[in-house]
Structure 1
Amino acid sequence: MTYATPPRRTLTALTMTTLLAGGLLLGQTAAAPDASAAGGKKVVCEVDKMRQQSHSLRARAARLQRLGATAEARKARAQADALDRRVRACVDADGNAPKPWN
């Protein structure tokens, strides 16, 4: 019985690892969905409406805080913060859109 030399064993292991990793990457890219937002739908940001919702949530949080419901106030503030982040993302996306004359 002959044993494989250490360099041959290392080379075989390295080759098999590379082939497996390449196959996994190829399989993931083939099964990946297209890069489109929300299933191919166009994303529309109504910034004014979102800002109004954020303002009403913050007013609600202040009212809840005065009444002593701190957990509900914290949740309302978190929702308002999330809306503010979405507004900022929409404004940034509009500002970074490619210009038609470039």
Structure 2
Amino acid sequence: MNHATPARRALPALFATMLLAGGLLLGQTAAAPPAEAARVGTCNVNQLQKQARDERDRAAQLKRLGAREESRRAYARAEALERRAKQCAHADDVVAPPFPR
């Protein structure tokens, strides 16, 4: 009966490990957000372009008032916003739509 002792130790440990792993997996799937809620990276191209235009107008006004450094920063922000809008538009065109349900 001495040969049964390792099996008596190993099987309960194996079952406990399986139950723990299964519980963790079940907990992860229950806590995961739905597919629609997990959408990341959606951006409004029109809003970004409008913000860039507003920032360019602000930069031009600052330049007229003589605030060169602030004007330069505003132009840089406008360029960044336009670049972001272009990236978003490109991503919308290139990325394939999700699989239908």
| TM more than 0.5 | yes
Q: 1:78 aligns with which of 76, 79, 99?
A: 76
User: Which residue of the partner structure matches residue 8 of structure 1?
Assistant: none
Instruction: Give the counterpart of 2:59 among 58, 61, 76.
Output: 61
**In the superposition, relative to structure 1, how do residues 41 and 95 fare at CA in structure 2: closer, same or farther (>3 Å)?**
closer
Unaligned runs of 5+ residues in structure 2 are 1-37
TM-score (norm 1): 0.55
Instruction: State the partner residue of 1:46.
Output: 44
- How much is the aligned-residue C-alpha RMSD, in angstroms? 2.0
* Percentage of matched positions with identical amino acids: 40
The higher radius of gyration belongs to 2
Structure 1 residue 43 displacement after superposition: 1.3
Give the structure with the higher percent helix. Answer: 2
Q: When the two structures are aligned, how many residues end up with a matched partner?
A: 62
SS at match of 2:96: coil
